[in-house]
Copies of this chain bind each other. A is one copy, B any other.
């Protein structure tokens, strides 16, 4: 069977090794990972199967991670991971949406790895580690000690390898192509859903050299009154002759996501709206130019804030967040944020989406930039010009 691994075995080994080092430091014997992105990061596993319980277990005393999932997804584990067959464990269908708990199956694997009385790390804040899953595991492993190891792996994957950055450059090119397609499609009279359709088409077809993948979130297409509702769904309404559009798009390649937002004015923008866009770009550039290893997230946000304050504006929400490999519904990595007080020190290989949306009472501008931290500064991962587009 054809394997679909996007990284060398050595890269996976380095990732697992870094996780084990952190486990040892925290005294964790067994780490049970529920977050699909972390499962993908450590094993390569890639299928949309995590809506039924699924786990990857890393044990200090076991070389490879162990994947546990539904029997019909075993084949995806064989195809997309480097794991030996014995490290792929599947529970039968009778566990699916029934009175039986797949956590009992997971607990048996943990016990096999010496986990009966072990210190077990779990991801307490993961979308896919429900309150019930935790209760079931605690019941099935009454002698074990459970500790919160949420975002332990996320903090390791925050620094990307050069192979990962290469993939994110491709995701960025897809995001650029999506934005161009959106701008091309936007015209008065076009239904909102048809703009969404064009954007999705480009998201998947990508470029002639490489295609795209499903994203962690639908595109945000915020029009007119809804321009101030950042996560609204589109409608069937035709675009009016004059309106403001805020578009947030996500290019995805091999599960790596790169974000890109732009504002588009249908019809000539007012002078004040045009001015607002220029202020946002100025502050965005000030933030970007301040990026370098050794500075903190808080420092970078400060440079942005200062530039914005010169025009009498401030922004309530955080300025950005770390991005990388992801699955729905996670838009960010849940680690570092570009915000006041976040003292995370920037390192080469970190990737952020800087998103200085500026929202007034009834209008907003969102012009953003995803970038990688480099040895000396930053590398933009998209090349769409930073400006208000006018159609």
Interface of A with B (CB < 8 Å)?
Answer: 1-2, 4, 46-51, 71-73, 75-76, 79-80, 92-93, 96-97, 122, 124-135, 148, 150, 191-194, 196-198, 200-206, 210-214, 217-218, 220, 225-226, 228-236, 316-318, 321, 328-332, 334, 337, 359
- Bound-state CA distance A92–B379 (Å) is 32
Q: Is the CB of B214 within 8 A of A204?
A: no
Find chain B residues with CB under 8 A from A334 CB: 97
The answer to whether A236 and B220 touch across the interface, beta carbons within 8 angstroms, is no
Tallying the copies of this chain within the complex gives: 2
Instruction: Tell me the minimal C-beta distance from A25 to chain B in angstroms.
Output: 21
Give the nearest-CB partner of A2 in chain B: B225
Residues of B within 8 A of A205 (CB): 191, 193-194, 197
Known: A71-B316, A193-B205, A201-B201. Is A329-B79 also a contact (CB below 8 A)?
Answer: no
Select from chain B the residue with minimum beta-carbon distance to A336.
B97
Contact B122 A131 (CB under 8 A): yes
A331 partner residues in chain B, CB cutoff 8 A? 51
Q: Is the CB of B316 within 8 A of A73?
A: no
Q: Are B130 and A130 in contact (CB under 8 A)?
A: yes
Determine if B133 and A131 form an interchain contact, defined as CB atoms under 8 angstroms apart: yes
Tell me the bound Cα distance from A71 to B359 in angstroms. Answer: 12
